Amino acid sequence: MAEQTEQLSYEQARQRLVEVVQALESGAVPLSKAMELWQEGEALAARCTQWLDGAKATIDAARQPGAEDSPA
């Protein structure tokens, strides 16, 4: 599962996380499945955070003085 999560785009990871949360909130899954979903959700949330942190770093770097002078 971790390898699959690492390959997801931000949008894919976010959509799957929404699905996981909906399944958990429904209360219709057995405990063993709920634990699996929770672990998957944690991995998906971490992946989304990686994407957002990377985007923030890119924006912060672009805002640095002289950034417009450096090649992209």
d(CA 25, CA 40): 15
4: pLDDT strictly greater than 80:
yes
Quote the DSSP letter at residue 67.
G
Domain range summary for the chain, segments of one domain joined by +: 2-61
Instruction: Give residue 27's pLDDT.
Output: 95
- pLDDT score for 65: 86
This prediction has a pTM of 0.80
> What pLDDT digit, counting tens, does each position of 14-71 carry?
999 999 999 999 999 999 999 999 999 999 999 999 999 999 999 999 999 876 655 5
